[in-house]
Amino acid sequence: MIEVKGLEKLQTKLRNIRELEHRTAPLMDQLGEILKNSIEDSFENEKSPFGERWKPLAKSTLQNKLKKGKSERILRREGDLADNWVLKSDDDKAVISNNANNKGFAYGLAHQFGANGAGRGKRTKIPARAFLPVDKSGKLAKDVKREIKAEVISFIKSI
């Protein structure tokens, strides 16, 4: 006669997996923190999550910032873009957002991807200084992807 042991543990694990979709808020929060930390690291290190250093400020921009008593750091005028990232998460998603704007213009995307024809005279070119951990094709930065994968695996193992 063959005796099978440990089915209770297996049944519990399977039940936990089935109920998983209703208990993922802690995971979503952790994944959001990974993304938010990556963004904040970009501003701190003045380089993209893909390792590309940001283009230096133009001499005229730097002089203007110093004259006004502003920080000489790149993408740091008032700190609105660099310092105001908000994470909201629930069982379904993690959303990292920033509402920084100048006279209604949400300038984060202009800095992320670059822009031509900016400024009052529409002649200013803003170089891309990526800070989001996703490229134009939607791929995550390798380090961020690795962290997310590790977090998800750890979460699943804990069920």
pLDDT in tens, 24-52: 899 999 999 999 999 999 999 999 999 99
Question: Could you tell me the CA-to-CA distances from 121 to 13, 33, 116, 117 in Å, in that order?
Answer: 63, 39, 11, 8
DSSP state at residue 95? E
Judge whether 1 lies within some domain. no
Q: Is residue 58 part of a domain?
A: yes
Q: Which long-range contacts (CB under 8 A, 24 or more apart) does 14-17 make?
A: 16/159, 17/159
H or E element that contains 34:
helix 25-45
Nearest to 34 by CA among 84, 87, 81, 75: 87
In single-letter form, the type of residue at position 46 comes to: E
Give φ, ψ of 5 to 5 degrees: -115, 155
pLDDT the model gives residue 88: 97
Alpha carbons 71 and 54: distance in angstroms, whole number: 16
* Number of structural domains in the chain: 1
- pLDDT (0 to 100) of residue 57: 94
Does residue 2 lie in a domain region?
Answer: no
In a domain, 18, yes or no: yes
Q: Residue 52's domain spans which residues? A: 7-157
Question: Does the residue 60 lie in any domain?
Answer: yes
pLDDT in tens, 88-138: 999 989 999 998 887 777 788 889 999 887 767 777 888 999 999 999 899
DSSP-derived pairing of the beta strands 86-89 and 94-97: antiparallel
pTM score, whole prediction:
0.83
Mean pLDDT in residue range 133-156: 94
Tell me how far the alpha carbon of residue 4 is from its chain's centroid: 48
Residue 80: inside a domain, yes or no? yes
What is the structure's pLDDT at 19? 72
Q: What angle do CA 118, 124, 130 make, to 5 degrees?
A: 75
Residue 131 belongs to a domain: yes
